[in-house]
Structure formats: C-alpha cells, structure tokens
Structure 1
C-alpha cells in the first residue's frame, strides 16, 4: 500500500460456489441442488438459479424440495472440495493485486490500493473480474469500498444485481440505505435493531452510540466503525506454500553418469537441509536435466515413505540417471520435492534401521513395477474368513493392527471347493480334488454366522461349521459344513 493513498477494498462473493463448482464439470439447465445430511435428514446445501426459480431454498429438506420440484437433480455436497476451489480462486485473484485473503467460506477480499490503474481503473477492473468469472462458470457479486466492511456490505446487499461500488470517500452515503444486516451482525442483533425501528445503516448513524452499546454490546459499534472506515480491519492473506527446490547451473556441460550423480548429490544435500528445517520429508522427487540444446529430461523418484536423508535417496536415482540421454551435454540440474509430508524427528534404533531398509527395498522394486503394485496384507475387523484381511499398497500403508482370530487360520485360503461326503459329522473318508482322503483327526466345530448387514452371495447358504481336518495322507485341511443346505467344502489348507 502506498503511503497516504486512500485504501480501496474489493469483496468477491460467490453466492453459489458449491453448485457452480460441480456444474462446471457437468453443466445442466435443469434445477440442481447439492445436499448435506444434518439432523438425520438430507437438506439442500446449495442450489443453482433454476432451482431457486422453483421456490427452493437452502436448508429445505430434500423430500420437501422434490414435492415442489419433481425434476430436481441432486448430488452430495463436498465442503472440503469447495474450500479447495476457493483456494484456487484466491490464487487466481492475485493477478489483480498481491494482497488477497479469504472472507468466510464463499468470499474473497482484495486490497487493490494502488493497483487499479494497472487494469484501466476501478470500474474496468471490476468488469474484467466479472467477465472472467462468468466465462469460468462462477456467479459472483462484487463490492468496492474504502473498508472491508463497506465492500462486504455492497457485495451482498448492494442495489445492483452484480454488486455495487462506492466512490472514494463516499462510503457513508453508499451504506446509509442498506439494511443493518449488511454490517455482518448476528441474527439476534439484527432483529432487535429492526424492532426498535433501526432498519438501515443510516438510522444507526443518527442515534446516540451509548444506548446502542449498553443494549447490544460493543460488537455492534465495532462493526459500524469498521464499515465506515473509522476502525481498521486487516485482510489476512494466506501464506504461499514453501517451494522445496534447488538448482545447479554448470559452467561446462557434463554427460557422464558419475558427474550427474555428483551434481544430484549437491542438490540433495541442500534440499534435504530445507526439509529438515521444516520437519518435512519428500515422497516424490523430480530431477530435471537441461541439455545444451535447451531440451530437458526428467527423472522422477517416488519414495515408499517420506525421506530427507541424502545418503538414502541418492542411490535410488542411479537407475533413472543411467537411462537419460545426455545429448551434447547437460548444463543445468534442478531438483524439486513435488510431494512432501510431515516427518518429525525420530530416535534411531534397531527397529528404525530395519524399517528404513524395508522402505528402500520397496522403493527400488517400485521404480521397476510401480509402487502401487508392491502390496501388503492388513488385518480387517471381520469374522468372515474372506474379509478378515485387506490388501493395500505398502508405500501408503503401515503394518498396523493385530490378527485376532479366535482359532488358528490356514496359511492358504481359497474359494470354497466342494467335497464328496455325506453326513453332518466329519466324514471318515471323502474325495477332494480327485483325491481319496481318510480322516485321522478332526478339531471343531467353529460356527461362523454370515454378516447380515452385507449382501454376500457366497454366504447365502447361512451358517458354517468349520473343522480342522488332519488326513492320514498328510493333508491338513480347513473344511466346513453348511447345516441349512447340507454339504461339505474345503476353504483352506494349513502348512
């Protein structure tokens, strides 16, 4: 901000940000609404203009809304995605000024003091904002005033359809006809003022301040002074995320693998020092090698766990660097941590060393077949044998939880295979996989009931009585009998 310059604030309000975000990907002219579950009821969270024209409004129950509008299209709301979209819009708005902050869940505040002339003036800047957002599919209302409170009021309660603008020094005149709700008051205070006949902001300016403060508290006068510019109100811009990158420009081109690895080591040491200072670790590293012909080659390294140890990371680059075509030489190297995660300091011990070696192994294998193809088994909370485990990529999961089966489980588990046998007791002789087997010992039964809340076609036969069967031929099987639909099956084999 320039010293002595009149402060000028723009308020961007996106009245239908959630629905606009969804409709940008799948446009429709029909009534559309996003719903969010509250108090055990699906309620309208946001809706488009066509749905508003049908008399629908936010907070209305979905069942009631379908009565008024049978053709209503709906989708579940995602407030987290809406917040990310507002962050994208905040970064976009920095094209107009460097000082941009969020204003609630659906608005932005821009301090354009000293920068409006770059866009041809204030009105030209507002028109450009509105045109660009309209082409992007976002409904927006803009307010421009000498304070954040004034801009907020003009954007949400201005008389024009797309917002309003107050000339410099004319904020009081522009705010006077607006309702008291434009001061960002809570509903109880706004209703109380209207009951006293104070419906406009201009009415508050014409009455003594002391009685207002005694009856409604100091918050009312604070909001009034902020809107009139008598009390400063800062805009809090979000800090830009740190960039973890290092670059090395060489006086002479290089092309040998050892030279590239030496340069990569220097970059790794500098990069890991920055990561250590912020207790962060890299999960995805990108090494960019610029050749003298101005073409670039990239080597990406996806790590099985967050790392910041140059000695561990450097050997993992060797395979990718060997495959790079250096052409007539490489004159610049750039290393960037594209994806980072928190990595607090941990005590080094035997278990940690073993874990580090495992992560290095997973990374080496993952660079060849893909990290997502290196998987591990994890325990799941289910007494159904087929659902007692999960298969998850080892790079994005930890070996956590305990296997808590009430009785021993077979090492090999497969789909149930029928057995030729009769009776409900373990058969003395039966056939399985074209083999005739004789019973030596049977342990059981262990009755397992199906999970009634899940529709599993494999368990529609009902209860199962599991037995551990040892045969005279040496096979140790896990067999079960289905009482409701008599039959014997083998589902696993013990080691």
Structure 2
C-alpha cells in the first residue's frame, strides 16, 4: 500500500519533441527530420520514427542522410519555438500536480506526491498521461520512481515504474549512462567493467571518487535517494489584467473614464512591482446585452503611470456605444517591456514625456508607424548617412558625428556647367544664374566598394561648400574620373 508521505516523481521525456511539434501542424508521410547548422555543417537535429527506422540518427550530416534516404523530407529547426512548446506542455502537466519543472530541452519532471489518488492511483495517472499525449500526436516515455534521478533513468533507458523504496532493484540492470553521466565518464567506467548501475553500486567508493571525483557517486546517491535532489517548479508568468463588475450599468463617458482610472491604478501597481511598462493596453467593455467592445491604446513608450495613461484613453472611450449600459470593464496590458526603476534626484532636467504623449495622441489617429524620425547611420556616403525609423520604436539620436557640416536638404545630383577641379565662378542651376562668393573644400568621399550603387559608379567625389552672392548656400561635388560638376544639397 502506497504511503501518502512517500515522495513520488514522474519523468516525461519527449524524444521527438521538435519533429512532433512540426508534424502536428503539417502532417507528412514518410521519413522526416529537422536540420540544424552545427560546426559549419547542416546536421539532423530531430527525426520522426520512420526516419529512425531508415537508419538515420541525430547528428548525421544532411548530405549523408539524403544519400542513405533519398525520400527524406527536411525542414530547419526552430529552437525558440521548441522551448515555447515545452512551456505549453509544462502548463498542461499542471493538471496532474502543481510541482512541474523542466528537464533539459525535451523533458518534464513532476512531483506527484499526494496527487495520484485523484486519477485512480499511479497506474491510472500514467495511463491518462500516455493516452492524452498519444491523442495529441506526441511520442513520450514515462518513468516513475521515488527520486528525480531514478525517474529520469527509467524514462530514458527503461520506461518503467520503480516501486516505493526499491530504487536499486529497478535500476541495477540499466547502463551507467542512465545516471546522467557524461560520455567520457561512461566510457571510462565501461573500461573498468562497470557497465551497469548494479556494478557501480557494489564497487568500492573511495577508488572511484579519487579517479572520477565526487560527481559519479553523487549521481548514484541521488538516484537511490541517499542525496536529496529537488524539483524546482517554474512559476507562471505574471498576468497583467484586471476586471471590474459593476452593480449597476453605466453609459456616460465620465463614468467609464472613472472605472478605467480605478483599473489603471491596480494594473499599474502590478507593473511597478514587476518593473515592467506597458506598450499596448486593451480595455474591453461588456454591455448588459452581452455584446462587447474593445478599445486599444498603443503607446509610443512603455508606461506605468496611470495619470499619464488615462487621458490617452479618452478619445477611444468617447466613441464607444454603451447601448443599454455597460456592466463590466476589463483592462489588460497585452504587450509589456522591462521598465526598471530610476533614481529620483532634486535636479529635474529630463524629458517629462510630453513628446511621447504627443506621438501617442497623433498615432491613435494616423498610426504609430506613420510617425517617423531621421536617425544617423554608420556610412560616410551622404545618401546612406541616415535612416528613417518609426519614432515610437526608436530613441532620438544626439546628433550626427561628422567633422564637416552636411546640408539639411539633400537632392539627387543635378549637373551644372563647370570645368576643372576648382568650383566655377558662375554657373546656372534651376534657371537661376549664380555667382560663387566663397568656396570651402574640397572634402573627398570615396565610394563604399562593398555596396552596389549606380550613383557612385563614377568613383571619387570632391565636395565643396559654396556660398553664392545671391544668397544660396549649396553643396557641390566634382568627379575627377569623369570630369563634371553636380549640385546635391542646399544648406539652410
């Protein structure tokens, strides 16, 4: 009879987690594998069962695999999506117990102590796990024991159940690799004749510790329950959402704004505790007829100050049709970013955020992506010395680092009459006759050979800053390889 105080641990190993994830969304017939670039070679990362039956294995080069199996279908691996999928499985596993932790990149560890009776015992719980995972299209191997190490060993090398208090009989026939030892260590132990856990358990401890260190015996003691090993459950991510149910329906904008203020105060308190700021808010208004309306607020900067956020909601909430009344409000921060706390000083010279609030107000009308700013780029080519980026998703630069001034207005090169490397004394540009009063230069700019730009195929350019007697301040350049003069900009 199982004692409720006895600790019991389940290890879930998904040997084909990555390939099963992909095939769930796009089922395929025949051998299939995911590839990953390792050491400048494209190698197999995860295979389905049919590919393994063809003799392929993980780490095999893609070219060799195609030679052995011409009908092999492949796709690139996505490690980030695999980890997200494993997190989803972790949340699913909390249906069996609250203590669920990750085990590497393809496994879960569950502490089911005291919860197996809810599923009719341990056998009923394991059968329910296997049935649900099979229905979901996931291949899994399950191990159950008193310790984390024993459960891992059974899942990876035996897929069985160790009765309570009988770890060594259940593990003694498994290879020493089941103790989570490195390949070099297992090879060295095999040379000494210690190939199974039972052989290692009866071997003298002192010589093994002197030769291999304390890791080998510690792993053995963890598996047999002589050395404690905890399971650290991952906490669920914080939920940035609050809700308010009203005793009486409301419909006036001022009442809705008052409710939104109360929700913002609560939500921003949570954001402050987590040192996060919200980029996107969504407030959902439920009417008494169960119809809902959603108002979205996209901010130019992450914020958690309710006094600054509330006025930005006014335009969206003013256009809501309350119908016969609103009886529930729900506010959620759907996109958050880290916003660490800042030191407060008696000197207040920083930006108060008025520009960000203005960008937000304009962005609610025309879209945040349509409000753009110029930013400096790392290039000495005039046309490539700047980029255009959305103001809401970029920080303003302090200035362009250039030893020579650049014109505020750049135009495509326009030819003018002139001969020789010195600026012409008189020239005609855009139907205007201009006279050179002062010329500063030249500044020689060479093309960037690694970029293909037809405008710079002529080679070097010598730039001059020309101040004309008529008041025009132009930026001219001369091309020595193909002699000619051009106007490319005008100073303010």
Quickly name the TM-score band, shorter chain normalised: 0.7 to 0.9
1:378–1:148 distance in 2 versus 1, CA, 3 Å:
same
SS at match of 1:312: helix
2: CA distance, partners of 1:24 / 1:386: 48
2-side partners of 1:45 and 1:71: how far apart?
15
CA-to-aligned-CA distance 1:205-247 (integer Å, 9 cap, x gap)? 2334344334333322221122123333221111112223333
Aligned partner of residue 353 in structure 2, secondary structure = helix
Find the counterpart in structure 2 of residue 365 from structure 1: 362
Of 267-276 and 163-172, more deviation after overlay is shown by 163-172
1:204 aligns with 2:200: yes
CA distance in 2, matches of 1:53, 1:107: 23
CA contact (8 A) 1:379 1:388 kept: yes
Contact 1:379 1:401 in 2 (8 A): no
- Give the aligned partner of residue 84 of structure 2: 84
Paired positions, count: 487
Deviates more, 1:371-380 or 1:343-352: 343-352
Distance 2:321 2:277 in 1: 29
Q: 1:255 to 1:119 in 2, by over 3 A?
A: same
Q: 245, 248, 253: which is aligned to 2:249?
A: 253
Moved more, 19-28 or 454-463: 19-28
Matching of residues 121-132 of structure 1 within 5 Å: 122-123=122-123, 125-130=125-130, 132=132
Give the aligned partner of residue 190 of structure 2. Answer: 194
Q: Does 130-139 or 320-329 show the bigger shift?
A: 130-139
CA deviation string 1:57-101 (max 9, x = no partner):
555566776776788776665544433332222222223322111
- TM-score, normalised relative to structure 1: 0.86
Q: Secondary structure at the match of 1:351?
A: coil
Contact 2:7 2:146 in 1 (8 A): yes
Higher mean C-alpha deviation, range 255-264 or range 238-247 = 238-247
State how 1:64-463 maps to structure 2 within 5 Å. Answer: 77-119=77-119, 122-123=122-123, 125-130=125-130, 132-134=132-134, 136=136, 138-158=138-158, 163-343=159-339, 344-347=341-344, 349-352=347-350, 354-400=351-397, 402-419=399-416, 421-463=418-460
Q: What is the distance in 1 between the residues matched to 2:422 and 2:70?
A: 59
CA distance in structure 2 between the aligned counterparts of 1:108 and 1:77, rounded to whole angstroms: 21
For residues 128 and 401 of structure 1, the distance between their equivalents in structure 2, rounded to whole angstroms, comes to 61
Counterparts of 2:124 and 2:431, CA distance in 1? 85
C-alpha distance in 2 between matches for 1:345 and 1:3:
53
1:342-364 alpha-carbon deviations (Å, 9 max, x no partner): 32134265433x34111111111
- Contact kept? 1:281, 1:340, Cα under 8 Å: yes
**Aligned residues of 1:421 and 1:431 also touching (Cα < 8 A):** no
What does residue 12 of structure 1 align with?
12
Gaps of 5+ in 1: none
| C-alpha distance in 2 between matches for 1:366 and 1:219 | 59
Q: CA deviation at 1:24?
A: 5.2
Query: Deviation of residue 380 (structure 1)?
Result: 1.8
Q: Name the SS for the 2:264 alignment partner.
A: helix
Partners of 1:35 and 1:62 within 8 A in 2: no
Cα–Cα, structure 1 residues 222 and 249, in superposed 2: closer, same or farther, change >3 Å?
A: same
Alpha-carbon offset, residue 257 of structure 1: 0.7
Kept in 2: contact 1:19–1:34 (CA 8 A): no
Aligned: 1:36 with 2:37:
yes
1:416-469 per-residue CA deviation (whole Å, 9 max, x = no partner) reads 344455554433444444555444433222221222233334433332222223
Paired residues of 1:378 and 1:401 also in contact (CA < 8 A): no
Shift of 1:115: 3.4
Label 1:446 to 1:65 Cα distance change in 2 as closer, same or farther (>3 A). Answer: farther
Q: Does the aligned pair in 1 maintain the 2:35–2:62 contact within 8 Å?
A: no
Shifted more, 224-233 versus 55-64: the winner is 55-64
Find the residue that maps to 1:339 and give its secondary structure. strand
Distance in 1 between residues matched to 2:486 and 2:140, nearest whole Å? 65
Counterpart CA distance in 2 for 1:270 and 1:66 is 58
Matches of 2:448 and 2:64 in 1, distance apart?
Answer: 35
Q: Distance in 2 between matches of 1:397 and 1:457?
A: 30
User: Aligned partners of 2:4 and 2:119: how far apart in 1?
Assistant: 21
Is the CA contact (8 Å cut-off) linking 2:446 and 2:459 kept in structure 1? yes
Q: Secondary structure at the match of 1:409?
A: coil
Unaligned runs of 5+ in 2: none
Bigger shift: residues 146-155 or 168-177: 168-177
Displacement of 1:303 after TM fit?
1.8
Distance 2:454 2:133 in 1: 51
Distance 2:418 2:116 in 1: 88
Aligned-pair RMSD on alpha carbons?
Answer: 3.1
